[in-house]
Every structure is written in structure tokens, then in C-alpha cells.
Amino acid sequence: VRLLQPLWDVVRAREGLLQSPFFPVLFSGATYTAFCLPFVVLDVVGARAPALRKYKIHPNFYPSAGQLLLCLLHTLYQHVVFILPVTALRWHWGPPSWPAAAPGLGELLSHVTACLLLFDAEFFVWHVLHHKVPWLYQTFHKVHHKNTAPFALATQYLSVWELSFLGFFSSLNPTLLGCHPLTTMIFNVVNIWLSVEDHCGYDFPWSTHRLVPGGWYGGVSHHDLHHRKINCNYAPYFTHWDKLLGTL
Ligand SMILES: [Zn+2]
Ligand SMILES: [Zn+2]
């Protein structure tokens, strides 16, 4: 009996929802909002709680209500106008099949890790290109650099072009590796969490880069520095590509 079978059975029981063409965008939208919400609360109460300030990367910066609302509306608009039609169309052409058996735990962990490493490499190449070619930077990537001190809701403050590539990379890798649908869902949840953590503006003792040994993971401290300096730390998560290219 597979360890993940009970979890997979619970997910499969909601087949009506899973088969809906709106499921991908609802799933990623709800996950993104749920991960951003605690940081939005911290940003709102943080200004009045000095104990929290020692974890802030920019201790004197708190996003204004206007900045939070602008990012939220920007993300909502892009998801409804661009992402929803594309994912619905893709779903319509080839809705996924849902096998009865859950994936093995080892298979799930190795596939999620492989998807993250591939995503990191693909975005690294995209990101370097969009910084080195001035036209690409000005036209497609500059908007994400509007916030030099990032906060959680700034994670998806992106051009449609950039958001589309992020979506493409994150859906390509599970397909290439032949991942189980449960593995694909968990990879997407982890990927959304890590992208929000990269921008959250807080460096906690339990932040991912402090939990991964050997300095292999850059996370929030590295990506926050990218927003300030622009010419370093191009990889979103891991550090090996920046080490190899001398941009760490
Ligand atoms: Zn960023
Ligand atoms: Zn950048």
C-alpha cells in the first residue's frame, strides 16, 4: 500500500472540480493568495511590532495600502484576462487523466526536486537574457524591478510575457518527466511558495536558504539582493548557476 494513497484518494474524490477548465487557475490563484496572506498581515501589523523588525531585510520599509492593492489588482487582472483563457484552452484540448494509484513517496520527492532544478535552470537562462539584452529588459522585465524592496504581493507583479514563461516552464517540466498528477500539484504548490518566499522581505530562522545545507539555496536573501543590485543572483532558487557564471 502506497503511503500517499489516502491523500490521493481524497484529491480524486473531488473529480468534478479537478476536471473543470477553471481548476488550474483557481488552484494556482488560491495557493498564491494563501501564501501571500500571512506576509500581508505581517506587513500591516509589522510597523507597530518592533520585535518583527529584526527579521525584515529592509527594516524601515513597509508597503503602503496603495502598493499592496496595485499588485493584487495587477495579478487578478492578468489571471482573468490572460492566464484563464490559455489554461482553459489547454485543458479543453487535453484534460489530464487521473490514475487510481498514488505515486510512491520516493518517486514524488525525486520528481519534485528534478522539476525545481529544471525550473531554476530555465528561468536562470531567461532571466540573464532579459537583463543582458536592454530591449528585453526595458520591454518585458523592468516592470518586475519596480519594487527595489520586494514584498509578498510583488512576486507576481510581472509583465504578461514573463508570467507566461513562468507558467510555461512550470507546466513543461512535469510533462517532460512524466510526473503523476499529484506530483505536479505538489511541485506547483512548492514552486509558488518558494517564489513568494523569495519576495516576502523577511529572513526568518526557518527560511528555506537556512534549512538547505552547503549554501546550495539562495532564496530570499539572494533574490532580494537581485532586486536592489540588478546585476547579480539571476537564479530564482539555487546558487550553482550563479556560482558557475560568476554572478553570485
Ligand atoms: Zn523578483
Ligand atoms: Zn531581474
- Ligand approaching nearest to the C-alpha of 156: 1
- Domain assignment of residue 202, given as a range: 5-245
Contact between residue 197 and residue 208 where contact means Cβ atoms under 8 Å apart: yes
Distance 227 CA to ligand 2 centre (A): 7
Contact between residue 150 and residue 163 where contact means Cβ atoms under 8 Å apart: no
- Ligand approaching nearest to the C-alpha of 142: 2
Q: Return the pLDDT at 21.
A: 83
Total structural domains in the chain? 1
Distance 98 CA to ligand 2 centre (A): 37
Q: What's the CA gap between 79 and 66, in Å, rounded?
A: 20
pLDDT digits (tens, 9 = 90+) for 154-185: 999 999 999 999 999 999 999 999 999 999 99
* Between 224 and 60, the higher pLDDT residue: 224
Phi then psi dihedrals of residue 156, to 5 deg: -105, 25
Q: Return the pLDDT at 22.
A: 85
Distance 164 CA to ligand 2 centre (A): 16
Distance 32 CA to ligand 2 centre (A): 20
Q: What's the CA gap between 231 and 10, in Å, rounded?
A: 46
In which band, very low, low, confident or very high, does the pLDDT at 94 lie, cut at 50, 70 and 90?
low
Task: Give 142's contacts (C-beta < 8 A, 6+ positions apart).
Answer: none
Distance 183 CA to ligand 1 centre (A): 25
Q: What's the CA gap between 213 and 199, in Å, rounded?
A: 21
Q: What's the CA gap between 171 and 57, in Å, rounded?
A: 32
Distance 127 CA to ligand 2 centre (A): 6
Distance 177 CA to ligand 1 centre (A): 27
pLDDT digits (tens, 9 = 90+) for 121-151: 999 999 999 999 999 999 999 999 999 999 9
- Mutual angle of helices 181-199 and 105-132, in 10-degree steps: 50
Q: Return the pLDDT at 86.
A: 85
Q: Average pLDDT of 188-205?
A: 96
Distance 185 CA to ligand 1 centre (A): 23
